[in-house]
Amino acid sequence: MSHKVSIRGVVKEYGAFRAVDDISLEIGEGELFTLLGPSGCGKTTLLRMIAGFNDIGAGEILFDEEVINHVPAHKRNIGMVFQNYAIFPHLTVKQNVAYGLKARSVKGAELEQRIKEGLELMQIEAYQDRSPSQLSGGQQQRVALARATVIHPGVLLMDEPLSNLDAKLRVQMRTSIKKMQRGLNITTIYVTHDQEEALAISDRIAVMQNGKVEQVGSPHEIYKCPASKFVASFIGTSGFLPGVANGDGVVIGEKKLPLRLRDGYTGEVQVAVRPEYITLREAQAGEICGEIAMTTFLGDFVNYEVQLEGGMILEANEYTKDTGVIRPIGQKVSLHLDLENISVFDSSQAGVLL
């Protein structure tokens, strides 16, 4: 019942600006697929092309095997959840949920039954006769979800659905969205700029920048093996160390990392490392050295900003359960990278060489 979605060479131009630049993606049936990227990367434009609110400049979009480029928005059988919910303010909660069903001429007992299912699924039966203005943001969000899913859409589109909620509610809602999506097994395309949310909710993620897809993969893959410097910095936190590849390793200052690079690459490189893969030890000659510039205690771990000898700042974490102490500002330390968990990018900041 749910569609698989194929996006093939899709382009959207506004004048000379390419908002969506030749994107191709295959989204499987029942998959929760996220378009992740900073604002202006083209993710919402792409989503609205799938919805039918932006026309498709070039390329094609298919639901299963059918090209839908010229199917008008109202005939695409799509459920859409908007950033600001777009609840009909002149209708009650129940009427909002019923709206799409009535457009499909669902009548009588079936109508009542499906409205009830929708209200129950999102746990909003208690508010069904209220007007939307009497609901909190979270409740409005649930109405929007119920309204979009009750029509049994072929594809569910969600445009930054959690961005207007407060932090705690956001975490709660993303869990209920995930559960609901699994339960209904609807192909879902989810747009967000929040990488943590994307990691938490998605089956697969497409990381986008400047209208292009930088990497597609499971949350674990893109976190572990970022395909570009942009992905490494956008997903989670990464520090970057400049170094030189000389054929049998990468040299950073006085430290030589025994790394094998793809195709025996030589030249300038950037080594990306996440704070949790740096171990801090006493300062030692021949290692990467620096001094603690800033200490932030966050409960389960301590985040340090270490100023390297060249002046660069690198973040490192130490877990409270592993160490008992908090290092004082000014302490000299050496930094040891976990070579299993670093990435190396060439001077074009793109190719992964490891």
Partner 1 sequence: MSAPAKTGRRGLGAKLRDKMNFWNFVILATLILSVIFIVYPFSRLLVQSFFDRQGVFVHIKNYLSFFQKKYYINTLINSMKVCFSTTLLTVMLGVPVAYLSTRFNIWGKRLINMMIVLSLLSPPFIGAYSWIMLLGRNGVITRLLAGIGVEIGSIYGFKGILLVFTFKLFPFVYMYVSGALGSMDASLEEAGENLGMSGIRKLMTVTFPLILPTILSSALMVFMTALADFGTPMLIGEGYKVLPVTIYEEYMSEVGGNIGFASTLSVIIVACSLLMLWIQKKAIDNKSYNMSALRPPPVKELPGGKRILATAAVFLVALVSVAPQITVIVTSFIKTNGPLFVPGFTLDSYRTVMFKLGRNIRNTYIFSIIALLIMILIGLLLSYIIVRRKSRVTGLLDMLVMFPYVIPGSVLGISLVAAFNTGPVVLTGTMWILIISYVIRKTPFTLRSSIGILYQIDPGVEEASISLGVPPMRTFFKTTAHLMMPGLLSGAVLSFVATINELSSTLILYSGRTGTISVAIFTEITKDGYGTAAALATMLTLSTIISLMLFNKISGGKSVV
| Site residues for partner 1 per CB under 8 A | 13, 51-53, 56-60, 67, 69-70, 72-80, 82-90, 99-100, 103-104, 144, 147-148, 151, 157
Sheet with 239-246, edge to edge strand ranges: 255-257, 250-252, 239-246, 266-273, 342-346
Nearer to partner 1 by Cβ, of 9 and 310: the residue is 9
Beta carbons within 8 Å of 218's beta carbon, 6+ residues apart: 202, 203, 204, 205
Nearer to partner 1, 86 or 171 (CB): 86
Query: By C-beta, is 64 or 309 nearer to partner 1?
Result: 64
Q: For the range 120-124, what are the long-range contacts, defined as Cβ-Cβ under 8 Å and sequence gap of 24 or more?
A: 121/146, 121/149, 121/150, 121/180, 121/183, 122/146, 122/176, 122/180, 124/93
Minimum Å gap between C-beta 351 and partner 1 is 30
Q: What tokens were used for 15?
A: 């004048």
Shortest separation between residue 8's beta carbon and partner 1, angstroms? 10
CB of 202 to partner 1, least distance (A): 22
Strand partners, 242: 270
Closer to partner 1 at the Cβ: 104 or 332?
104
Nearer to partner 1, 96 or 334 (CB): 96
CB-CB contact of 133 with 183 (8 Å)? no
Length of the chain: 354
Q: How far is the CB of 58 from partner 1 (least distance, A)?
A: 5
- Provide the edge-to-edge strand list for the sheet that holds 187-192: 78-81, 155-159, 187-192, 32-36, 204-209, 212-217
Cβ proximity to partner 1: between 48 and 170 the closer is 48
Partner residues linked to 290 by β-bridges: 308, 333
CB of 53 to partner 1, least distance (A): 6
Q: How far is the CB of 320 from partner 1 (least distance, A)?
A: 41
